[in-house]
A and B are shown apart, each in its own frame.
Chain A
Amino acid sequence: VRSLWIRGLGAPMANPNEHAEGMMGEHAEKEYADFEARVKRTIYIDHLSPVVTRQVIRAALSQCAHVVSVEFVENYTIPYDIPAAALVELDDESQARSAVDLMRDFPFIIGGMPRPVRASLARPEMFPDRPSPPGSKMEFLWLKQGDPEYDGMSKLKSLAKRQEAENMALIKNILEEEKELAAQQQIMLDANYYKYDLLENIVQNGTVKNLAGHYRVNLFDG
């Protein structure tokens, strides 16, 4: 037996109380319009360091935008150590766009170097507290063994699970890649520092001057 249920404009279709539904409809529409406006002026920042606080984000963005609120994204689903992320609401849409542009065109660094943060315009599904769009339809049905679509649906379930596994594998892969890059860069940085340090030392302790004298090379131009 399958039962099909379709959700309409809020109240169930059985006893439409026109007045009540109208009011609910209006309220829902306003609420969703407000939400959409909020989405437009919010940016999503990730590749964020876990030690960064909202004060830091506020200050960081102060050059191009005024931050109204910062909501950090909780990790409930990824079983690895991932960077932090936050939904940052700004004053208006133009600030949001300019912030995103800024962080796309230049590496923007918050709280530690050199890995920059990434920013994008927020989307509704990023907000855990999103209201439902008024007039959205939702339908469901119950299947049981023996129903014609039952096997197909079971296969679709397996497909979904396989896709999940693929996604997780990709996540694991990119996190490893990031670790490798960080390690490489650390080596390179250390080597560079060592080199500069060496140079500084030989300048400071006069070796360079001696050598210059020995080879009759002028250390300073003109």
Chain B
Amino acid sequence: SNENIQFSWGKKRAKGGAKMDTQFYGSFTFDNVKYSLYDCVYLFKNGESEPYIGKIVKIWQQNEAKKVKILWFFTPDEIRNFLRGPVAENEIFLASGDGTGLADINPLESIAGKCTVVCISKDERNRQPTPKEQTVADYIFYRFFDVGNCTLSEQVPEKIAGLEVNVLLNPKDEQVICYPDQDVQGMDQKVGAGLVAPLPQSAVKMDEIPVAPLPQSAAKMEDEIPVAAVPLSQSVAISLPPSVKEVDKAQVAAVPLPLAVEEDVPKPTQKVFKRTENLTTKNMPSKKLKLSQDLTTQSMAPVPDVKVRSVPSAQQTTRQADRSKWFKPQPWHGKLAQADKEGRLVYIQNLDIRFGASEIVELIREALQLSCTAKPINHPTYDDPNNGKAYVVFNSRNIADEAVMKINSGLVVGGRPLYCSKGLLKVPKPASGALVGHLTISNQKMNPRQREEQKKAVSTSHCSQPNTIEYDLALDWMLVREKQAMKFSILHKRHAGERKSFAAKMEK
């Protein structure tokens, strides 16, 4: 539940509202992460694996309710229909114009974390980002999607959502941003005994680890070189106790320690941050930890009393804006479910596995004089490559029924008799828990800090080192897998052989 999540207001701004009962703010700290106006954040929607990305453009409290107004970013998938030209892997698009989809008011509690979005537009109002900023950013954008007329444009509008566009582009000063450490070998040695606990089973996606692991790496730095297995997604702004900040005016960020940290950890981090300052002045060694900074910070959140808290389950407890209805082209899943409901979905088997969607559509057109959409659906790991499977969606239930009857009655393609049936195959919902074979250590004696260390160690990716128990176990898996691959290979070859000899017999 939300009751125990840390929260405190930051900088106050104006008061407003009809009854003067609304207080606007410039920043707040939630779950031990500091958020300021114009920060980019993640918000989760129930049931979706990918979070929404947005920019905080207003923060206030009215009576008991804390709210934020979020200006949305769109991912390429969301505006697939309107996309033109090349799209970078981590490119997103800022909403502009007027209408549904520009911005929404959300409860503050729906925020799931922070991320870095860098604007690479060449417009003069945009401070050009450094190459470093660009590489480490979670996302980049330079295009705007007008929600009113559904058009994409590189041109920077004067205002968005009533705000001057300047405040929405890159902040004036360079941000030093965290990014995942690439050399995690050090972590494995720590894991020495090979006893590492992965995430607890409560379906937390990797992205949600965000803030928690960081202090652990910070804490670790006092005993060894700053090897940081840092969370792999968002950047996190780290806060320093005020004393340290005075020491280094230059770029030092401030974020209170994230959750589940022991109360004595704050002391070590003081030392630690001093050391990283030294590091930043030289050229960073290859094992790096960069501190994210937020120079608009003015009020320092004091290092809070951190409560140990169970793993956040953001997806259950927060309400989100519902964006599913906005000009989103239906992904295949939706199309298939819809078609199935209307009886237009047909499952065809025994195709040549090399057939792509276009070949299947053409086949149906030539053989049945019917139009359709098709999707080949073989699973590369498990399905028999001798038998190509596809979903085909027709325009009406009657047509689908007719097609099924005809095909089953005797359509042979390239020597293969096809067979088909109506309806979606029953598959289990994609698992959201840990993978079979990802083990946990049930140990209550570990203090929260150790638990966090272990969590973080496992949440990173690495080649398993031979001096660990983990390595032996991993080898077990590789052995089992080789055997499985052989079994499949033998079976599929046999199938192919059976079909060939059958065809040969028929020729006679």
User: A residues bordering B, Cβ < 8 Å?
Assistant: 5, 7, 44, 46-53, 55-56, 58-60, 62-63, 67-69, 73-85, 102, 106-116, 118, 123-133, 136, 138-145, 147, 149-150, 152-157, 159-161, 163-164, 166-167, 170-171, 174-175, 177-179, 181-182, 185-186, 188-190, 192-193, 196-197
> Which residues of chain B from 388 to 422 have any CB-CB distance to chain A below 8 Å in the complex?
388-389, 391, 409-414, 416-417, 419
Could you tell me if A190 and B442 are in contact, using CB atoms closer than 8 angstroms? yes
- Find out whether the CB atom of A174 lies under 8 angstroms from the CB atom of B434: no
From known contacts A126-B380, A157-B419, A160-B350, infer whether A142 and B410 are also in contact, taking CB-CB under 8 Å.
yes
The answer, among B193, B358, B432, B498, for a CB contact under 8 Å with A51, is: B432
Partner of A109, one of B183, B199, B474: B474
In Å, the complex CA distance between A7 and B363 comes to 9
A-B contact pairs, 14 of them (CB 8 A): A73-B379, A109-B464, A112-B435, A113-B458, A125-B388, A132-B359, A138-B362, A139-B414, A143-B412, A160-B416, A160-B417, A181-B437, A185-B473, A189-B469
**CB of A59, distance to nearest CB on chain B (Å):** 4
Instruction: Tell whether, in the assembled complex, residue A78 and residue B427 are in contact, meaning their CB atoms are under 8 Å apart.
Output: yes
Does any Cβ of A come within 8 Å of B158's Cβ?
no
Residues of chain A with a CB closer than 8 A to B464's CB: 106-109, 113-114, 116
Interface band, chain B: 35 or more
Q: Known A50-B431, A143-B412, A160-B419; judge A125-B425 contact (CB<8 A).
A: no
The answer to whether B204 and A83 touch across the interface, beta carbons within 8 angstroms, is no
Interface string of B364-395 (1 = CB under 8 A from A): 00110000000111111111111111010000
Stretch at the interface among B98-106, B273-281, B317-325, B487-495: B487-495
Q: Lowest 10 A-B CB distances belong to which pairs?
A: A112-B438, A115-B437, A60-B461, A107-B474, A114-B473, A143-B410, A49-B435, A76-B377, A112-B198, A130-B356
Q: Are B434 and A49 in contact, with the CB atoms below 8 A? A: yes
Question: Would you call A118 and B481 a contact (CB within 8 A)?
Answer: yes
Given A174-B484, A182-B439, also A79-B502 (CB < 8 A): no
**Is A50 within 8 A of B382, CB to CB?**
no
List the A side residues contacting B410 at CB < 8 Å: 142-145, 147, 150, 153
B499 touches A159 (CB 8 A): yes
Q: Nearest chain-A residue to B485 (Cβ)?
A: A118
| CA distance in complex: A59, B207 (Å) | 12
Chain B, Cβ-Cβ closest to A70: B89
- For B195, the chain A residues whose CB sits under 8 A away are 189, 192-193, 196
Q: How far is the CB of A13 from chain B (nearest CB, A)?
A: 12
Q: Are B350 and A79 in contact (CB under 8 A)?
A: no
Give Cα A123 to B356, complex, Å. Answer: 13
Find out whether the CB atom of A113 lies under 8 angstroms from the CB atom of B474: yes
Chain B residue at smallest Cβ distance from A104: B478
Kindly state the separation between the CA atoms of A138 and B359 in the bound complex, as whole angstroms. Answer: 8
Does B333 make an interface contact (CB < 8 A)?
yes
Complex Cα–Cα for A59 and B434 (A): 19
